[in-house]
Amino acid sequence: MATIKDVARLAGVSVATVSRVINKTDFVNPETAGQVLKAIEQLQYEPNAVARGLAGKKMGIIALILPDILNPFFPALARGVEDVAHKKGLTVILGNSDDLGLKESSYIKVLKKKYVDGFIIASNTIREEDVEALRKERIPIVLLDRGLNTASCAVIRSNNREGAKIGVQHLIEQGCQRIAHIYGPQEFITARERLLGYEEIAKGLSGYSPSLMVSGNFDIEGGRKAVEQLLTRHPDVDGIFAGNDLMGVGALKALHERGIRVPEEVKVCGFDGIGLTEITEPELTTVAQPIYEMGKLAARILLDEIESGIRENSIIELDVTLIPRKSTQ
C-alpha cells in the first residue's frame, strides 16, 4: 500500500503538503493540490487510520458496551448506534458486560488504550468512578438508562415512570380491577421507575394490595414464576402489568399453562416493545420504547461531542408509546 511519502515524492511536494490537501487543514495552491490529487489517484493512496490514530489520539471507533447482545432489547440499540456511526465513517466496537462492573471496567481500560473516540454504555451497574475517569481524560461518553443522580455526562433513557402509568391506565380502561405488577431487579433504575409508576396509578384502585407486586428478574422464566406465585396469592387478578416484555411473555406462558385465557380472564401488558411481542399468541400489548431511535440518538450525541469537544450533560428522556394488541382487548 502506498504511503503519504510515496504520494509526496510522486507529486514533488513534501508530506506536509499532502497532508494539507487530504485534510483541507490549510490553504494549498490549487495547482499544487491538483498534482497531489493526481498522485493520490494514481497510487490509489488511502491514509492509514492507525498512523492517524496515533498522531491524533482518535481511531475513528466508538465503543458500545451493553449487558448482553443476546437480550432481545439490545440488537435494535446496537443497530441504531452502528447505523449512525457508519454513516459518519466510524466503526463500532461491541462489548458484552453481562452487567458485571468488572467486565465493564476491563473493557474501558482496554479500549482507552486503543484510542476509541468515545463510549456508549448501556449499563445498570456502571460505577461513578469509571464515568469520572473518562470525563477527566476528556473522553466523550453517553450513558443509556442510568440514574439522574449522575448528570456528569449525557444520559438517554425513556420515560419509564410515565410509561408504566400509561400501561396500567390502559389496563384499567380495558376493565381491569385487580392489576398486578411483575417488577424487575430493583438495582436497575428502569425497574424502580416502572414500579413507582405502577404504584402511583394502581394505589387508587379499590382492589389494590401491595402483595400484587411480585419480583420477576426481567426474564421469561422470572415472569412465569412470578405469575405462578401471584396466582396462589391472588387467584382473582384480572390484569398484569409486566416490567418488561420478556416477563410479559413468561406471564402469557404461565397463564396458558394454567388454562387461563388471555385477554378474556386476565389481560397482560408488557414494556419495551421488542419484536417478540408480535409473535406471542395472543400478541402482547406493550409500552414501547423507541429502542432503535435511542441508539441513533446516543450515537448522534456522542459524535457531536467528539466533533465539537464540548461536553454534553443533558438527560434526555424519550417518550414511550402504548401499542395495544390482543393481550388486552
Partner DNA sequence: GTATTAAATGTAACCGTTTACATGAAAAAC
Partner DNA sequence: GTTTTTCATGTAAACGGTTACATTTAATAC
Which are the contacts of 56, defined by CB distance < 8 A and separation ≥ 6? none
Closest Cα partner for 117 from 312, 318, 317, 299? 299
DSSP classification of residue 281: S
Question: Cα–Cα distances in Å, from 269 out to 12, 234, 262?
Answer: 70, 18, 11
Task: State the binding partner of 138 from its own copies, DNA, none, CB within 5 to 8 A by kind.
Answer: none
Dihedral, CA of residue 146, residue 150, residue 153 and residue 154, to nearest 10: 40
* Closer residue to its own copies in complex, CB, 90/237: 90
253 vs 300: CA distance, rounded Å: 39
Residue 132's CB is within 10 A of a number of other CB atoms, namely 13
Binding-site member from 1, 70, 279, 310 for DNA (CB under 7 A): 1
Contact region for its own copies (CB under 8 A) — 25-33, 70-78, 156-164, 191-199?
70-78
Stated as kind and residue range, the H or E segment containing 195 is helix 189-202
* Closer residue to DNA in complex, CB, 26/319: 26
Contact between 17 and DNA by CB under 7 A: the answer reads yes
Contact between 274 and DNA by CB under 7 A: the answer reads no
Which are the contacts of 14, defined by CB distance < 8 A and separation ≥ 6? 8
Binding-site member from 173, 281, 307, 319 for its own copies (CB under 8 A): 281
Contact between 54 and DNA by CB under 7 A: the answer reads yes
Contact region for DNA (CB under 7 A) — 10-18, 145-153, 156-164, 314-322?
10-18
Contact between 16 and its own copies by CB under 8 A: the answer reads no
At its nearest, how many Å lie between its own copies and the CB of residue 182?
16
Closest Cα partner for 237 from 200, 204, 271, 262? 262
* Closer residue to its own copies in complex, CB, 198/218: 218
Please, is 253 exposed, middle or buried when counting C-beta atoms within 10 Å of its C-beta (0-12, 13-18, 19+)?
Answer: middle
The three cell numbers locating residue 222 = 422470572
Binding mask 30-69 for its own copies (x = CB under 8 A): ----------------xxxxxx-xx----xxx------xx
Question: Cα–Cα distances in Å, from 297 out to 59, 149, 155, 294?
Answer: 21, 21, 10, 5
Binding mask 277-296 for DNA (x = CB under 7 A): --------------------
* Closer residue to DNA in complex, CB, 112/234: 112
Binding-site member from 9, 15, 150, 221 for DNA (CB under 7 A): 15
* Closer residue to its own copies in complex, CB, 117/193: 117
Binding-site member from 38, 41, 42, 48 for DNA (CB under 7 A): 48
Burial 257-282 (b: 16+ CB within 10 A, else e): eeebebbeebbbbbbbbbebbeebeb
83 vs 80: CA distance, rounded Å: 5
* Closer residue to DNA in complex, CB, 8/274: 8
- Please give the residue ranges that form the binding site for its own copies (CB under 8 A): 46-51, 53-54, 59-61, 68-70, 72, 74-76, 78-79, 82-83, 86, 89, 91-96, 107, 109-111, 113-115, 220, 249, 253, 256, 275-276, 278-281
- Please give the residue ranges that form the binding site for DNA (CB under 7 A): 1, 3-5, 12-17, 19-20, 22-23, 25-29, 31-33, 45-48, 50-52, 54-57
